[in-house]
């Protein structure tokens, strides 16, 4: 009996320091993976965008006037897709991007007969160079290049066909892009675009009309990098 008590006491004495030490052990903290965005800008990407634009229709003499009103508030929403490629050298990023958007930019004026005369854009797009600075996954950039689009003049209420014409011009602007993972980024961008002047037959409106469209746009987009 005494031997059993002595053995039990020895076991308790041996185990006590270990049990007392257990609560003092640090609790392991799981490590949070760090997303490496250092090379996200280098390579190809594709994505989509939505935005809003506002501008005016103009001719060689300035803003186009019709039925006592000016086409000085061409406006509406648009949305489309883009594809591009970047090359990064140190913190400087050089790129080339092309995009195309379906457009809701237009303005309606009522003529003397009560008919709606609409000037607007069916679609527009750009091919632009970009240059920016990588600030730890944030890319502010400047951009400029070629612009194009299909304009239209519509007075079908007055009995003549809808006229369309293909415009070309230029665009310039700036933006900022944020890396949200190693393969995805989001961006905001401002562009000023001038699509140049083209001639529209406009037979029912005493044409031809020489008309151009220039406008400001702001858009948000997402890019997927590969």
The range of the structural domain enclosing residue 186 comes to 43-225
198 belongs to a structural domain: yes
- Which pLDDT tens digits describe the chain residue by residue (226 residues)? 444 444 444 444 444 444 444 555 665 655 545 555 557 999 999 999 999 999 999 998 899 988 788 999 999 999 999 999 999 999 999 999 999 999 999 999 887 777 788 999 999 999 999 999 999 999 999 999 999 999 999 887 666 678 899 999 999 999 999 999 999 999 999 999 999 999 998 766 777 889 999 999 999 999 999 9
**209 strand-pairing partners:** 200
100 belongs to a structural domain: yes
Per the structure, how many domains does the chain have?
1
218 belongs to a structural domain: yes
- Among 187, 188, 111, smallest CA distance to 154 is for 111
CATH number for the domain harbouring residue 143: 2.40.160.20
Cis amide linkage into residue 208, ω under 30° from 0: yes
State both tokens at 144: 């400029």
- Among 60, 100, 93, smallest CA distance to 193 is for 100
Cβ atoms of 185 and 40 closer than 8 Å: yes
**In this structure, how many other beta carbons lie within 10 angstroms of the beta carbon of residue 107?**
22
**88 strand-pairing partners:** 93
């Amino acid at each position: 009996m005494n031997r059993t008590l002595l053995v039990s006491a020895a076991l308790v004495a041996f185990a006590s320091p270990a049990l007392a030490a257990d609560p003092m052990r640090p609790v392991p903290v799981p490590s949070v993976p760090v997303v490496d965005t250092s090379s996200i800008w280098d390579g190809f990407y594709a994505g989509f965008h939505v935005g809003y634009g506002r501008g005016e229709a103009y001719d060689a003499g300035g803003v186009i006037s019709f039925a006592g009103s000016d086409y000085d508030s061409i406006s509406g929403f648009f949305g489309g897709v883009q594809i591009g490629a970047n090359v990064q050298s140190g913190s400087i990023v050089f790129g080339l991007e092309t995009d195309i958007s379906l457009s809701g930019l237009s303005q309606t004026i009522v003529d003397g007969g009560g008919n709606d005369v609409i000037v607007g854009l069916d679609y527009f797009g750009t091919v632009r160079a970009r240059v920016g600075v990588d600030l730890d996954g944030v890319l502010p950039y400047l951009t400029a290049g070629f612009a194009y689009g299909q304009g239209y003049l519509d007075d079908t209420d007055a009995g003549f066909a809808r006229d369309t014409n293909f415009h070309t011009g230029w665009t310039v602007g700036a933006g900022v892009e944020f890396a949200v993972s190693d393969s995805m980024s989001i961006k905001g961008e401002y562009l000023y675009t001038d699509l140049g002047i083209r001639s529209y037959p406009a037979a029912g409106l005493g044409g031809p009309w020489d008309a151009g469209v220039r406008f400001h746009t702001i858009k948000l987009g997402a890019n997927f990098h590969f």
